[in-house]
């Protein structure tokens, strides 16, 4: 499963870059379709070869596996298409791609955290033990996924305009 980098119990995805760049190039509906494919892939990976216990727990839930990924494409496409419509290249295009990249990456992480809290907050003590409660599950999730969120948002903010501008020029020629 290309697109999942796992090391030392931490799993970082690069698939969000494909979805975000796809949303920039194909629009909101194209981004949503790519996000849906990513979500289904996440669900399959959770059942076939989870990278860590967190992935095993979270991404067995189809809502947690699919909805945040689908929304990544939607949000990236909306952001890119709503800021100065028609401006795809140059400085404005680059800035739009940076915002679309960062917003898309953060959408995924924030929705994963929100859905996790929604579905598992009442079960936190049973699942985690050691004094865990619904009050602190959100903080635990933010801490655990925070490193991934920052790394994925930075990567998206850098890679999206680099590849996106090249693809826009290639598509135009």
Domains of the chain, residue spans: 4-170
* Domain range 4-170, CATH architecture: Orthogonal Bundle (1.10)
User: What pLDDT score does 86 carry?
Assistant: 75
Cβ-proximal residues to 90 (8 Å cutoff; 6+ apart), any chain: none
Residue 70 — very low, low, confident or very high, per pLDDT cuts 50/70/90?
very high
Residue 71 — very low, low, confident or very high, per pLDDT cuts 50/70/90?
very high
pLDDT tens-digit readout, 22-68:
999 999 999 999 999 999 988 998 888 877 677 777 888 999 999 99
Bigger pLDDT: 71 vs 85: 71
pLDDT tens-digit readout, 94-153:
999 999 999 999 999 889 888 987 887 776 555 555 555 556 666 766 776 677 788 888
User: What pLDDT score does 82 carry?
Assistant: 84
Mean pLDDT of 85-93: 78
Name the CA dihedral angle for 31, 156, 109, 19, rounded to a multiple of 10 degrees: 20
H or E element at residue 12: strand 10-13
Bigger pLDDT: 137 vs 13: 13
Distance in angstroms (rounded) separating the CA atoms of residues 125 and 133:
5
User: What pLDDT score does 169 carry?
Assistant: 81
Residue 85 — very low, low, confident or very high, per pLDDT cuts 50/70/90?
confident
């Amino acid at each position: 499963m290309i697109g999942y980098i796992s090391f030392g119990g931490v799993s970082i995805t690069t698939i969000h870059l494909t979805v975000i760049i796809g949303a920039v190039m194909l629009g909101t509906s194209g981004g949503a379709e790519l996000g849906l494919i990513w979500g289904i892939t996440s669900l399959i990976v959770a059942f076939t070869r989870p990278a860590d216990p967190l992935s095993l727990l979270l991404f067995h839930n189809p809502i947690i596996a699919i909805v945040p990924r689908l929304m990544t494409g939607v949000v990236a496409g909306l952001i890119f298409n709503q800021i100065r419509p028609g401006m795809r290249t140059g400085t404005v295009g680059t800035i739009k791609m940076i915002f679309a990249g960062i917003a898309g990456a953060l959408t995924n992480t924030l929705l994963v955290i929100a859905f996790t809290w929604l579905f598992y907050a009442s079960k936190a003590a049973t699942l985690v033990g050691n004094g865990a409660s619904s009050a602190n599950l959100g903080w635990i999730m933010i801490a655990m996924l925070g490193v991934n969120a920052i790394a994925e948002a930075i990567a998206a903010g850098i890679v999206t305009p680099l590849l996106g501008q090249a693809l826009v020029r290639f598509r135009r020629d």
